[in-house]
Amino acid sequence: MIPAKNEETLLPRLLASLRVQDYPLMPETKILLADAGSTDGTVEIAFRFRPDLDIEIIKGGLPSIGRNNGARHSQSRYLLFIDADIEIAETTLLRRAVDRMNREGLHCVTTDILCRDGKFLDRLLFAMNNAAQRLSRFHKPFATGMFMMVQKARFESIGGFDEKALYAEDYQFTQQIERKRFRVIRGGVYSTNRRFVKMGHGKIVRSFLATAVHHRHSEYFRNKAHMRYWEPY
């Protein structure tokens, strides 16, 4: 499931990295692009990757709405939620994620977030995020929607993502995963530093800390209008 709006620049990187995955069922795996009313060439670019990828366009909105809609359309055992602006760093990542889920009976796996084009501070903050993900296994799991594979049965029992949340819906969701059913697998996905450029490093750090402090209070994430998605980068 890929929530997207006006991602014609970065979406091809993601789809190209999906196309070369060595996961044996990749050609027949349904890829659901939840489009939130793009006005650029996002949809047209997605269709260019047919027939190598089985891509379907569905209705999107805020990322939580797009992801939940994708889950409703999916018939698979596992749901993979990824952002439109990432690129999978290794051709083996999807296969290994599925194998790990099957072998250990996991409910959720994620991976490291990498930033190859960012400055030192960008890479440092991503490294801190990765460390927080790995340490969260010993307290309450934490993963981002950049890459999150979830067992569909567990997803449905939780009730999906909070569609009223304006941000951090991924954080709130993974807090409900049992520690012993959560893993961070080696590898990673490439992201950009555009959120840092848009919002500033200080605001991103403050937002992260506030999310951790208020993680039990869903209303906090529903009232922060200044954190709305889909504003132009």
Kindly report the three-state secondary structure assignment for every residue of the chain: CEEECCCCCCHHHHHHHHHCCCCCCHHHCEEEEEECCCCCCHHHHHHHCCCCCEEEEEECCCHHHHHHHHHHHCCCCEEEEECCCCEECCCCHHHHHHHHHHHHCCCEEEEEEECCCCCHHHHHHHHHHHHHHHHHCCCCCCCCCCEEEEEHHHHHHHCCCCCCCCCCHHHHHHCCCCHHHEEEEEEEEECCCHHHHHHCHHHHHHHHHHHHHCCCCHHHHHCCHHHCCCCCC
pLDDT at 125 over 50: yes
> Does domain 2-227 fall into CATH 3.90.550.10?
yes
Q: What is the mean pLDDT of residues 94-111?
A: 98
Q: Which pLDDT score, from 0 to 100, does residue 117 have?
A: 83
**Facing residues of 148 across strands?**
81
Longest Cα–Cα distance in the chain: 46
For the beta carbon of residue 176, count every other beta carbon within 10 angstroms.
14
Among 85-94, 95-104, 106-115, 122-131, where is mean pLDDT lowest?
A: 122-131
pLDDT at 181 over 80: yes
Q: Which pLDDT score, from 0 to 100, does residue 215 have?
A: 66
**Facing residues of 57 across strands?**
33
Domain residue ranges in the chain = 2-227
pLDDT at 24 over 90: yes
Name the pLDDT band for 231 (thresholds 50, 70, 90).
Answer: low
pLDDT at 233 over 50: no
pLDDT at 70 over 90: yes
Q: How many CA atoms lie within 13 A of 151 on its CB side?
A: 20
Q: Which pLDDT score, from 0 to 100, does residue 210 have?
A: 74
Among 76-80, 94-98, 168-172, where is mean pLDDT lowest?
A: 168-172
Q: Which residue has the higher pLDDT, 164 or 159?
A: 159
Pair 86, 191: CB distance under 8 Å? yes
d(CA 196, CA 26): 33
pLDDT at 217 over 80: no
Residues whose CB falls within 8 Å of the CB of residue 25, separated by 6 or more in sequence, listed in order: none
Q: Which pLDDT score, from 0 to 100, does residue 224 have?
A: 58
Pair 36, 61: CB distance under 8 Å? yes
